[in-house]
Homo-oligomer: A and B are copies of this chain.
Amino acid sequence: MIEIPGPHLLFLGDVTNPLDAKTAMGLRDWRPERCIGQYRLPGCTVDLGLRDMNFSDAVAAGAKDIVIGVAPSGGFLQTEWVSTLIEAIWSGLSVVSGLHRKLSEQPELVKAAAASGQQLVDVRVPPALIPIASGRQRSGKRLLTVGTDCCVGKKYSALALHRSIKQRGIAATFRATGQTGILIAGAGIPMDAVVSDFLSGAAETLTPDAAADHWDVIEGQGSLFHPAYAAVSLGLLHGSQPDAMVLCHATGRTVIDEYENYPVPDLRECVAQYEQAAQITNGQARVVGVSLNTLGLDDASALTACDEIGSLTGLPCVDPLRHALDPVLDALP
């Protein structure tokens, strides 16, 4: 299990496109209390609305690390960023990254961290010792978000469901399975980086025995209908042994993103196939609702879209960024 120090100073580099700062925005949206400020290089036009801070101010304000909140194309840190991060390390900050290229593979950073006693935390590294899945039923309840496709809102849905469950006074833990989710949660396992033999074992490890009325709310990955990533989805599904699933979908998504020859199945078919696959390890598993990403629709159209999918599937359907999640929560076992 990866542990992230925090609180954070969010590093934005010199990016100009808000989409490149998705990780920083996720942290700001879901963990504002852990975000002390932002650090921007000259030329950066993205603004998280946090205080701009230099490293010593951030340390004085309680920051323990600097999080790389941007995703440069290819996953490589730009050379000029590295010298800035070394300065951050010498100022007393650990460095946290979810990029493909590991901090620990960059000798200048390794040297500075070793000399100064700071940590380099690569969140996209699975734990060293993951057991093979046992298939044993665990105590406590589990909710997994599953998707018709990638990038439909499985992470935001899980975070919103987790928050709503807790607001009802029910004990719950968000379980992160991807790099941004792990940065938000401060812990987790990056499923897509786990060696395939150990995938379900990793999911079992991530969601251990818990009190009978406790909910693990697990961030889903990929989609059973994705030609590249379905294995990740299935391993996570089997190891999670979810009692309940929420199917995540985005309006207008008729084919798999970037795979135009692969249609998104009818949502009733998606529900049926997720239930079939999940019931291998939990005979009670069922889809209890649909979380619809209605980005780009006006409020009235968003409601209509939810109503249509609700009628089609016979399940409660809401957009968790616009609507209360109560209809879905009421359907939990």
Contacts and interface: CB of A to CB of B under 8 A. Distances in A.
Given A234-B234, A273-B276, A276-B273, A229 B197 contact: yes
A135 B231 contact: no
A228 B135 contact: yes
Interface in A4-29: none
A230 interface: yes
A195 B194 contact: yes
Interface residues of A, number: 33
Contact of A228 (B193, B201, B224, B232): B201
Given A133-B228, A192-B196, A262-B280, 14 more contacts: A135-B228, A135-B261, A194-B196, A196-B199, A196-B232, A196-B235, A200-B230, A200-B231, A201-B228, A230-B234, A230-B235, A231-B234, A234-B234, A262-B281
Contacts of A132: 228
Interface in A181-223: 191-197, 199-201
A276 to B, nearest CB: 7
Contact of A227 (B192, B224, B238): B238
Given A234-B234, A273-B276, A276-B273, A227 B194 contact: no
Contacts of A262: 135, 280-281
Interface of A: 132-135, 191-197, 199-201, 224-225, 227-232, 234-235, 238, 256, 259, 261-262, 273, 276, 280-281
Q: Which of A199, A228, A256, A261 has the most CB of B within 10 A?
A: A228
A263 B262 CA distance: 32
A194 B193 CA distance: 9
A55 B59 CA distance: 64
A276 B228 CA distance: 16
21 contacts: A132-B228, A133-B227, A134-B227, A135-B228, A135-B261, A192-B196, A193-B195, A194-B196, A196-B199, A196-B231, A199-B231, A201-B228, A225-B280, A227-B280, A227-B281, A230-B234, A230-B235, A230-B280, A231-B231, A231-B234, A262-B280
A115 B45 CA distance: 56
Nearest to A199: B231
A293 to B, nearest CB: 22
Nearest to A231: B235
Contact of A238 (B197, B201, B230, B261): B230
Contacts of A273: 276
A102 B95 CA distance: 32
Nearest to A136: B261
Contacts of A234: 230-231, 234
A231 B281 CA distance: 13
Given A231-B235, A234-B231, A196 B201 contact: no
